[in-house]
Amino acid sequence: MRKSKFFKVFTGLAISTMLLAACNSKDAGSSTDGEKGKKDARDIDVVFIPKMTGNAFFESGNDGAQEMAKKIGFRVKYDGAPEGTVANQVQIINSAVNSGADAIAISSVSSDGLNQALQKALDAGIKVVTWDSDVDPKYRSAYINQGTPDILGAMLVDMAAGQLENPNEPQQVAWFYSSPTVPDQNSWVDYAEKYIAEKYPNWEIVTKQFGEGNEQVSLQKGESILHTYPDIDVIICPDSTALPAMAQAAQNKGLNKEDVVITGFASPNSMRQYLENGTIENHGLWDVKDQGALAVYIAYHLAQGNELKVGGTVDVPELGEVKVEPNTVQGYDYEAEDSGIIVLPERIVFTKENTNDYDF
Amino acid sequence: MLKKIPKWNVVLLTTLLAEIIIFGLINPRFWNINILLNSFNDFVGIAIIAFFVTFVIITGGIDISGGSIIGLTSVVTGLLAQVYGLNIWVAALLAVLVGGLCGLLNGILIAYSKVQAMVITLGGMLLYSGIALVLVGFSGASTYEGISGFSQEFINLANGNLLGIPHSVIVFVVMLLIAYVLLHWTRYGRYIYLTGINQNSAEYSGINTRKIITSTYVLSGLSAGIAGIILTSYLGSSRADFGAEYLMPILTAVVLGGTLITGGKGGVVGTALASIIIGFLKLGLQMGGVQTQYIGLATGMLLIISVAFMGGQKFKLNVRRLLNLKKDRGGNLNA
């Protein structure tokens, strides 16, 4: 009895799937035909994918993306999961492919975990743009870069050196960021160390600490830096979790910008209190709203059927003309005509004076 | 008593068909069979574990360690294959066995120490994900990045397809058949039900209930191991945090599938249908333009409504009374 019921359900399922299959082969065919030729702005769907939702940095990126979409008239769907895991991002990419999006703009949580999913998206004719955090350049057309390693590395060192009375004298310097293998932050630090060796040969790197992108761990590591190296002069934190944690650790210990120089990259909203109470003098970041806007615009531009040529330029409303640079500026070996990097035109140093002009 | 479950399966099947029709009307691309079949990739791991967690729950236990066993087996595979240079298939097999061992540990502790299953598997969950993190450290990779660089053959395990049918669908069907045969066609399956209905009377009638209970956790661990391998192949890297978000979806699939959380009643067909329903619900809502972060809301509502209908006899009675009341009034008005 039960056996037969099982098979009834089973065959029922099988038949219904076949029916569905039969009635749909036509639809699939016609929709691919429609993708050729230039599309109207209103018909273009871009899916804008953050590492995770609920983080101020990515929400601000989305604000910029939505403003751009409204201005030009295309559609942007902001789609992320509260937990920034590879499986979640893959699922979101898949559903973007399935629902017939024209382009995706993604900040990747992993440098290689998305490869399969992105390949499927490319096979389906979807344009892939990355922003903030890149993937293997083979799997995307453009990376909207906040700055190349040499720009950002030098910026970190200059922000610190500018606060020192005698930057040419010996100084004890510590690095504090998320992890020893995270690609972007390590590339900045690598360049910054070269820059230090050239420009400030007397500086001594005493330690590198990693907060794993976790607020609590970062606070503990920050406190341990201050305990272990009481004579530390400069702590540079190019990580949006490490920097506020470091500033908090210094504040907890009653230190301010006169005692130890703390600087790095984090969003102004997370650092405003430390600028205002004198714990730190300055910190930097790029305008993430511009980054989001640029990412979706380039995605839209590609989805319209335009080609992106390395060495060429793209005229972006509001942001002006941006240049497409070869992948080598970021240190990649992979080079192709249609795969390049667009570097954001400017980065911002936040101080007590200008921090209130920004909201992200 | 068991007769009620197939009826629930019909409800589930209807829900599934309704889902397919409704989402198809919203976005006709949903009716593309390839899209539907490929979406199995995104929930096959949940479904495989849910099949065997169904066994555990029928015996009256619960297993919440499945998600972290995924992470552990993923890391073990990566470590053995990429760092110690073992053949990838041997590594995968060993990793599945590690999953089984985790299940064995859970099972022995639960069956022989009589501590509540929830407590033991909660400990197991934390323990196994902790071990996974430590093991990633051995590989020299950070927990951020995981271990990658698997061969294309292994990647194809989850990403390939056979005669146009994605491997994930095949894995789903094979695991379902294994679970179905074990649970519904063998003596072992009947012992599982009897243990769940009343452990003492099962024990008195000569069933070694402790062994039965232990074995269900081993099966659940093995299935989590298999899910871990599939996920590692699907995502092309091994990371300790794989499966971390699977706990609730697994339990949702089992409970929505009609298995009584207190044990003694249930089946894997329901679990299979429920996991497809949940998977398609997510896909359909995303394709309908709903943001991923709000989809939990829909799944939650589906679960609460269905469980209220299914489990609460009182609830059912009240609803019936309410309906009858209306009918009576209608009747009176007509008269």
Segment B228-251, tens digit of pLDDT: 999 988 888 888 888 888 888 898
Which class for A227: exposed (0-12), middle (13-18), buried (19 or more C-beta within 10 A)?
exposed
Please judge whether A31 and B29 are an interchain contact, meaning their C-beta atoms are less than 8 angstroms apart: yes
What CATH architecture applies to the domain A164-280? 3-Layer(aba) Sandwich (3.40)
Helix (H) or strand (E) holding B232: helix B209-235
Q: DSSP label at A339?
A: B
- Beta strands A171-177 and A142-145: pairing type? unpaired
Query: Are the beta carbons of B234 and B58 closer than 8 angstroms?
Result: no
A47: closest CA of chain B, how far (Å): 10
Q: DSSP label at B16?
A: H
Percent of chain A with pLDDT over 70: 88
φ and ψ at B315, to 5 degrees?
-60, -45
Identify the pLDDT of residue B314: 61
B127 domain residue, yes or no: yes
Task: For the domain covering A41-146+288-344, report its CATH number.
Answer: 3.40.50.2300
pLDDT digits (tens, 9 = 90+) for A67-91: 998 988 888 999 888 877 788 888 8
B102 domain residue, yes or no: yes
* b/e sequence A341-354, b meaning 16+ C-beta within 10 Å: bbbbeebbebeeee
B141 domain residue, yes or no: yes
Q: Which of A20, A77, A115 has the CB atom closest to B31's CB atom?
A: A20
Q: What does R_g of chain A's alpha carbons equal in angstroms?
A: 24
Rounded Cα distance, B139 and B153, in Å: 22
Query: Are the beta carbons of B44 and B168 closer than 8 angstroms?
Result: yes
**CA A338 to centroid of chain Cα atoms:** 21
Q: Which of B13, B29, B293 has the CB atom closest to A99's CB atom?
A: B29
What are the angstrom distances between the C-alpha of B132 and each of A208, B77, B139, B145? 25, 11, 11, 14
pLDDT digits (tens, 9 = 90+) for B166-198: 889 999 999 999 999 999 999 999 999 988 888
- Residues forming beta bridges with residue A143, ordered by sequence position: A130, A341
Q: Which of A6, A23, A79 has the CB atom closest to B292's CB atom?
A: A79
Rounded Cα distance, A256 and A250, in Å: 7
Rounded Cα distance, B53 and B256, in Å: 13
Q: A8: nearest CA in chain B?
A: B10
Among B7, B145, B184, B294, most A C-beta atoms within 10 A, so best to mutate, is B145
What are the angstrom distances between the C-alpha of B276 and each of A11, A146, A173, B49, B159? 16, 41, 55, 13, 19
pLDDT band at residue A10 under the 50/70/90 scheme? low
Q: What is the DSSP string of B81-124?
A: IIIS---HHHHHHHHHHHHHHHHHHHHHHHHHH---HHHHHHHH
A110: closest CA of chain B, how far (Å): 6
Q: Which of A81, A86, A110 has the CB atom closest to B293's CB atom?
A: A81
Those residues whose C-beta lies under 8 Å from the C-beta of residue B136, and which sit 6 or more positions away, are B75, B79, B142, B143, B146, B147, B239, B240
Give contacts of A78 with chain B, Cβ < 8 Å: 291
Identify the pLDDT of residue A330: 77
Give contacts of B20 with chain A, Cβ < 8 Å: 16, 20
B131 domain residue, yes or no: yes
Segment A119-144 shows an average pLDDT of 89
Rounded Cα distance, A188 and B172, in Å: 45
Give contacts of B32 with chain A, Cβ < 8 Å: 24, 27-28, 98
What's the one-letter identity of residue A262? I
Domain of residue B168, residue span = 4-290
Q: Which of B159, B234, B241 has the CB atom closest to A85's CB atom?
A: B241
Look at residue B157 and tell me whether its pLDDT is greater than 90.
Answer: no
Half-sphere exposure of B56 (CA within 13 A, CB side): 34
What are the angstrom distances between the C-alpha of B162 and each of A21, B36, B156, B171? 17, 16, 11, 11
Query: Residue B25's CB: how many other CB atoms inside 10 A?
Result: 11
Give contacts of A113 with chain B, Cβ < 8 Å: 146, 148, 235-237, 239
Look at residue B142 and tell me whether its pLDDT is greater than 60.
Answer: no
Check residues B282 and A179 and name the one with the higher pLDDT: B282
Q: Which of B39, B244, B291 has the CB atom closest to A79's CB atom?
A: B291
Domain with residue B239: its CATH number is 1.10.3470
pLDDT digits (tens, 9 = 90+) for A258-293: 889 999 998 888 899 999 988 999 999 988 888 999
Give contacts of B144 with chain A, Cβ < 8 Å: 178-179, 181-182, 212-213
Please judge whether A99 and B20 are an interchain contact, meaning their C-beta atoms are less than 8 angstroms apart: no
Query: Are the beta carbons of B44 and B230 closer than 8 angstroms?
Result: yes
Half-sphere exposure of B43 (CA within 13 A, CB side): 26
**CA A124 to centroid of chain Cα atoms:** 24
Please judge whether A110 and B146 are an interchain contact, meaning their C-beta atoms are less than 8 angstroms apart: yes
Rounded Cα distance, B309 and B320, in Å: 11
B304 domain residue, yes or no: no
What's the one-letter identity of residue A169? E
Give contacts of B10 with chain A, Cβ < 8 Å: 9
Query: Are the beta carbons of A151 and A343 closer than 8 angstroms?
Result: yes
Choose among B119, B128, B113: nearest CA to B221.
Answer: B128
Segment B112-131 shows an average pLDDT of 89
Give contacts of B78 with chain A, Cβ < 8 Å: none
Size of interface A-B (CB pairs under 8 A): 144
Q: What is the DSSP string of A5-27?
A: HHHHHHHHHHHHHHHHHHHHHHH
Segment B63-72 shows an average pLDDT of 91
Parts of chain A belonging to CATH 3.40.50.2300 = 41-146+288-344, 164-280
B25 domain residue, yes or no: yes
B74 domain residue, yes or no: yes
pLDDT digits (tens, 9 = 90+) for B24-63: 888 888 888 888 888 888 889 999 999 999 999 999 889 9
Choose among B229, B39, B109: nearest CA to A97.
Answer: B39
Rounded Cα distance, A6 and B184, in Å: 10
Query: Are the beta carbons of A279 and A246 closer than 8 angstroms?
Result: no
B327 domain residue, yes or no: no
Number of domains, chain B: 1
Q: A227-241, A258-272, B304-318: which has the minimum mean pLDDT?
A: B304-318
Those residues whose C-beta lies under 8 Å from the C-beta of residue B154, and which sit 6 or more positions away, are B81, B88, B89, B92, B233
Rounded Cα distance, A213 and A244, in Å: 11
Rounded Cα distance, A27 and A19, in Å: 14
Q: Which of A78, A98, A213 has the CB atom closest to B291's CB atom?
A: A78
Report residue B224 as tokens.
Answer: 């989590």
pLDDT digits (tens, 9 = 90+) for B246-266: 888 898 899 888 888 888 888
Among A20, A59, A62, A214, most B C-beta atoms within 10 A, so best to mutate, is A20
Give contacts of B37 with chain A, Cβ < 8 Å: 17
What's the one-letter identity of residue A243? L
